């Protein structure tokens, strides 16, 4: 399956090699702080099994591994070997209870009720609606009953009424799919795929949302 030409979540070259540094500089460290705060809100317990979709250079991975302790297991999936090499380097101290795999998340995955948590951060907005649905379905299948899916991404807001720097960023720098995602009803999509018991937290003046959805 090929990524939509309207997407920019497949990060390559210089941007992939320096993704975490670029994000830290652009947000004055806010991106890393937000990811660590999101991990702290995931209700992680020692022994949990966690799956991350589009884990990138592993900014969340080590924080998750710390929270689930020596009996836990973390698996990060991504399509970028450059990103995964960085993630593997960062998480080496955790040994084989942290693993990374080259794997597209917009095709059916082989997991079935294997994980307590699924996490996805700034990836879902970069897919066409049918692919977003497939990714949400992959999360539902991978989760144990009662497990939870945590999505960190753009919140729903009126782009026309946002400040000009936000409008400029979304319309000129982000991918065209991002605005469609911002206008879409994420909870309706999650409900249709068997999720409920929603809770959310906001970052960057409400432009970003951490959405919790439990597998019912
Ligand atoms: C914007 S980055 C976010 C990385 C990380 N989640 C974070 O928040 O720091 C998007 C990530 O999604 C990955 N990605 C893009 N398309 C993918 C796909 N079809 N399957 C798996 N990963 C994908 C990219 O390689 C990249 O690492």
Query: Would strands 49-53 and 73-78 be described as parallel, antiparallel, or unpaired?
Result: parallel
Report the predicted TM-score, pTM, of the whole model to 2 decimal places: 0.97
Number of domains in the chain: 1
Per-residue pLDDT of the chain (216 residues), as tens digits, is: 677 888 787 888 888 899 999 999 999 999 999 999 999 999 999 999 999 999 999 999 999 999 999 999 999 999 999 999 999 999 999 999 999 999 999 999 999 999 999 999 999 999 999 999 999 999 999 999 999 999 999 999 999 999 999 999 999 999 889 999 999 999 999 999 999 999 999 999 999 999 999 999
Is the Cβ atom of 78 under 6 angstroms away from ligand 1?
A: yes
Classify residue 53: in a domain, yes or no. yes
What is the Cα–Cα distance from 184 to 190, expressed in whole angstroms? Answer: 11
Own/partner long-range contacts of 188-196 (Cβ < 8 Å, ≥24 apart)? 189/132, 189/133, 189/136, 190/136, 190/149, 192/133, 193/133, 193/136, 193/137, 193/140, 194/140, 195/136, 195/140, 195/149
What CATH number is given to the structural domain containing 183?
3.40.50.150
If you count DSSP H runs as helices and E runs as strands, how many of each does the chain have, helices first?
9, 7
Classify residue 47: in a domain, yes or no. yes
State which of 30, 123, 132 you would mutate to test the pocket of ligand 1, scoring each by most atoms of that ligand within 8 A of its C-beta.
123
- Report pLDDT for 68: 98
Classify residue 2: in a domain, yes or no. no
Which domain covers residue 80, as residue numbers? 13-215
Contacts of 176 (CB under 8 A, 6+ apart): 6
Ligand 1 center to residue 56 CA distance, Å? 5
Ligand 1 center to residue 11 CA distance, Å? 7
Classify residue 7: in a domain, yes or no. no
Classify residue 68: in a domain, yes or no. yes
Classify residue 65: in a domain, yes or no. yes
Is the Cβ atom of 59 under 6 angstroms away from ligand 1?
A: yes
């Amino acid at each position: 399956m090929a990524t939509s030409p309207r997407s920019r979540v497949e990060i390559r070259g210089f941007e992939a090699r320096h993704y975490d540094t670029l994000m830290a500089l652009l947000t004055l460290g806010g991106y890393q702080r937000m990811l660590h705060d999101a991990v702290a809100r995931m209700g992680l317990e020692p022994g949990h099994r966690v799956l991350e979709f589009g884990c990138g250079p592993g900014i969340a991975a080590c924080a998750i591994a710390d929270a689930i302790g020596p009996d836990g297991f973390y698996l990060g999936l991504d399509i970028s070997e450059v990103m995964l090499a960085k993630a593997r380097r960062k998480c080496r101290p955790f040994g084989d209870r942290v693993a990374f795999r080259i794997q597209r998340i917009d095709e059916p995955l082989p997991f079935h009720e294997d994980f307590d948590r699924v996490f996805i951060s700034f990836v879902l907005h970069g897919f066409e609606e049918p692919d977003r649905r497939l990714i949400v379905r992959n999360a539902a299948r991978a989760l144990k009953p009662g497990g939870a899916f945590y999505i960190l991404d753009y919140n729903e807001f009126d782009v026309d009424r946002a400040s000009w720097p936000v409008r400029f960023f979304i319309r000129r720098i982000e991918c065209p799919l991002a605005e469609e995602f911002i206008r879409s009803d994420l909870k309706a999509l999650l409900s249709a795929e068997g999720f409920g018991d929603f809770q959310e937290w906001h970052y960057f003046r409400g432009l970003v949302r951490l959405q919790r959805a439990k597998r019912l």
